[in-house]
Amino acid sequence: MSYQVFTGTGGLAGWALLGKTSVRQREMVAADGAVTTATNNFRAKIGSVTSADELLSDYRLLNVALRAFGLEGDLGNKAFIRKVLESDLSEKGSLANRLSNKNYQRLAEAFGFSAAGQAQTQAAGFADKITAQYIDREFEARVGEGDQNLRLALNARRELASMAERSSSNDTKWYEVLGSKPLRAVFEGAFGFGSAYAKLPIDRQLQEFTEAAKKMFGSDDINQFANPDKVEKLVRNFLARSAIHIDTATNRYSTALTLLSGG
């Protein structure tokens, strides 16, 4: 039986609990039999893989690789993943560069299987880096079994820290937020935005999100979320507003049930 991450009652209380126990619970996930088998196999074999086709031909290696970047939903879409892995990242119009989900770009960059690149699978520390990412994603997925909003919060904390390290412009990073469903969900929730915002022209969406960031954080600089205090404020607002939404929906359901039952 796989280790189930304990999140208590979820929400803000669950977030506080994870703050105290996440290091130990991540270790428990890493020591889980299925996870250990997958990561040991990846470390043992990935050094001999030097092309996209070789990776795609090994389901177990591919599963770890894709899950490490949150792309496990594409396990059955090998033709598409081959094109991503072989994308020339020096060309702005290549597939991996054009996709709004930048995890594809990061996958292609990490493995280096394009004709213009050099495979990175034998590089020092490569296997450890990918398996660590795999364990992080697995931990988050198991958190999500208890509370999906906590999974979104953990994802946002990790992704925003990574985003701050990149040299892209502020607008480019905000567009990346807008194009990432998990990240967007956290910002929308924290800002109190409804689903109608997604129907606005993309430049108007950028304006709304950056203005909301200025009001809440005093700045629209996305790199500010490298500061743990700023991320904490973002997450707590997201979780608090989500709890209100859930309570409101539950109350409406209870009222309807009472009316339907003649109470």
Top pLDDT among 90 and 108 is at 108
Q: How far is CA 169 from CA 30, 61, 155, 172, in A?
A: 36, 34, 22, 5
- Quickly state the pLDDT bin for 169 (edges 50, 70, 90): very high
Rounded average pLDDT over 73-88:
95
The confidence score (pLDDT) of residue 2 equals: 84
* pLDDT tens profile 136-156: 999 999 999 999 999 999 999
CA distance 245 to 252: 11
Residue % of the chain over a pLDDT of 90? 80
Rounded average pLDDT over 173-186:
93
Q: Say yes or no to pLDDT of 256 above 60.
A: no
HEC letters along 2-45: CCCCCCCCCHHHHHHHHHHHHHHHHHHHHCCHHHHHHHHHHHHH
Rounded average pLDDT over 155-182:
92
H or E segment and range at residue 127: helix 126-146
Rounded average pLDDT over 194-215:
94
Token look-up 């034998």 returns 122
Instruction: Kindly report the pTM of this predicted structure.
Output: 0.87
As a 3-state breakdown, the chain gives helix, strand, coil percent values, each rounded to 5, of: 75, 0, 25
Rounded average pLDDT over 181-192:
95
User: Collapsing DSSP states into helix, strand and coil, what is residue 262?
Assistant: coil
Rounded average pLDDT over 208-218:
97
Q: What is the CA radius of gyration of the chain?
A: 20
